[in-house]
Amino acid sequence: MDRIAGNRKLSGLLMVSPLLAVFLVFLVLPIVMIVVVSFWRATEFSIIPDFVWENYEFLFGSAVTYQVFLNTFKYALITWVFTLVIGFTVAYFLAFHVRSLTWQIALFLLCTIPFWTSNIIRMISWIPFLGRNGIANSTLISWGVIDEPLEWLLFSDFAVILAFVHLYTLFMVVPIFNTMMRIDKSLIEAARDAGANGAQILWNVVIPLTKPGIMIGTIFVVTLVMGDFITVRFMSGSQSANVGRLISNDIALLQYPSASATAVILLITVLMVIGILLRFVDIRKEL
């Protein structure tokens, strides 16, 4: 019996070893290297392998760091609110108001059409629309709504948030829609038979049962926004920054230890946010 159990254990280890190797090589090892490099020292001309705390001391001793992290959280929070509202509405419509499975699939695929192009192309497409002489300003002026072009439509926090919402809303729609499709429709019928109106059914039945999907979508959106840097650079006209932009600037200046230290702090921050979110909802049932 012991020999059989040992053979089963060995076969199990052999079966999982390819996945374990991929996990170690492509996830664990890069993170370990980033942590190691974050303690190295850099000069204008070279990078010196060492164990110093100066990169972290500089980060935590600079007011710019706190402002950049605050800006990052601001972008993540505002984007999360808008993507949640839009994503929940779209998912609710697809799950409960579109009865035909064929139409559900067709409309869901319609939502994925923007993803047939790159994020950068979709993001840059807003520039001619929001520009001083763009479509939005020209239309508002022709309608008599405004007398002169609105300067804050482009190269502003508004443009950054708009691009984020455009890029990442689908990451909220998919998990919420997947969760809603698993809701037993008899529960909604029972609530309606008990006298509950639409708002009560939504608040007391649909939303509680959709929490795992909302949480998965939240994790997707928050982590993507906090790690994004190219959107902030283009849509703010280099007038604003987030942590990803800070890391990108350090890499451009070949300050890899400083960039690694910032990346480690960002990783820890994101993991803390995810840890807090996971305390509210058990998403293992959705995985």
Whether residue 194 is contained in a domain is answered as yes
Q: Characterise 40 by phi-psi region: left (phi > 0), alpha (psi -120 to 50), beta (else).
A: beta
The C-alpha angle with vertex 178 and arms to 176 and 179, in degrees rounded to 5, equals: 65
| pLDDT at 51 (0 to 100) | 86
Whether residue 78 is contained in a domain is answered as yes
Whether residue 254 is contained in a domain is answered as yes
Domain with 124, as residue range(s), is: 63-286
| pLDDT at 128 (0 to 100) | 87
Residues 231-257 have pLDDT tens digits of 898 888 878 888 988 898 888 888 899
Rounded distance between C-alpha atoms, residue 283 and residue 190, angstroms: 26
Residues 148-174 have pLDDT tens digits of 888 888 888 999 999 999 999 999 999
Out of 55-64, 93-102, 174-183, least confident range: 93-102
Whether residue 188 is contained in a domain is answered as yes
| pLDDT at 168 (0 to 100) | 93
Q: What is the 3-state secondary structure (H, E, C) of the chain?
A: CHHHHHHHHHHHHHHHHHHHHHHHHHHHHHHHHHHHHCCCEECCCCEECCCCCHHHHHHHCCHHHHHHHHHHHHHHHHHHHHHHHHHHHHHHHHHHHCCCHHHHHHHHHHHHHHHHCCHHHHHHCHHHHHCCCCHHHHHHHHCCCCCCCCHHHCCCHHHHHHHHHHHHCHHHHHHHHHHHHCCCHHHHHHHHHCCCCHHHHHHHHHHHHHHHHHHHHHHHHHHHHHHCCHHHHHHCCCCCCCHHHHHHHHHHCCCHHHHHHHHHHHHHHHHHHHHHHHCCCCHHHHC
Of the candidates 224, 217, 226, the residue with the CA atom closest to the CA atom of residue 71: 226
Rounded distance between C-alpha atoms, residue 277 and residue 219, angstroms: 8
**Mean pLDDT value of segment 173-177:** 91
| pLDDT at 114 (0 to 100) | 76
Contact (Cβ atoms closer than 8 angstroms) between residue 88 and residue 77: no
The fraction of the chain above a pLDDT of 90, given in percent, is: 32
Tokens 């709504």 locate to 145
Q: Per mean pLDDT, which of 53-67, 105-119, 188-202 is the most reliable? A: 53-67
pLDDT band for position 196 (50/70/90)?
confident
Rounded distance between C-alpha atoms, residue 87 and residue 168, angstroms: 10
Whether residue 41 is contained in a domain is answered as no
Whether residue 18 is contained in a domain is answered as no
**Mean pLDDT value of segment 207-221:** 91
| pLDDT at 34 (0 to 100) | 93
CATH number at residue 93: 1.10.3720.10
Cβ neighbour number for residue 185 with a 10 Å cutoff? 9
Higher pLDDT, residue 83 or 284: 83
Whether residue 136 is contained in a domain is answered as yes
Rounded distance between C-alpha atoms, residue 239 and residue 216, angstroms: 31
Whether residue 51 is contained in a domain is answered as no
**Mean pLDDT value of segment 214-238:** 90
Reply yes or no on whether the pLDDT at 227 is more than 60. Answer: yes
**Mean pLDDT value of segment 44-72:** 87
Reply yes or no on whether the pLDDT at 286 is more than 60. Answer: no
Reply yes or no on whether the pLDDT at 6 is more than 60. Answer: no
Domain count, the chain: 1
The overall average pLDDT reported for the chain is 86
